[in-house]
Amino acid sequence: MKKTPRIPIPPSVRNYVFDRDHYQCQSCGKKQQETTLNIDHIIPLAKGGSNDISNLQTLCQACNQQKKHYLDPRFRRYFT
């Protein structure tokens, strides 16, 4: 499987993803007031995931570091 090249995530996209995910970690549920939030790829680039906005999620720093380049079995996404 070919790795997708990493591109910088524009601030407007970062803000959209944070807002869409209610400023809450999509893995453990911690909110912005409790932790530092990051933007992460749901399907890692190393596993062929895309840079598309639908493949981005909000994770806290701890969950993001724990996930690394693996798929997160705790992932949950609610589309509204």
Task: Express each pLDDT in 24-45 by its tens digit.
Answer: 999 899 999 999 999 999 888 8
Average of per-residue pLDDT values in the chain:
86
Asked if the model's pLDDT at residue 47 lies above 80, the reply is yes
What is the structure's pLDDT at 30?
96
Give the chain's domain count: 1
How far apart CA 68 and CA 30 sit, in angstroms, is 18
Domain interval for residue 32: 11-67
User: Average of pLDDT values for 58-63?
Assistant: 94
Residue 1 lies in a domain: no
Q: Which residue has the higher pLDDT, 24 or 2?
A: 24
Q: Percent of the chain at pLDDT above 70?
A: 82
CB 23 within 8 A of CB 58: yes
Residue 59 lies in a domain: yes
How far apart CA 80 and CA 75 sit, in angstroms, is 16
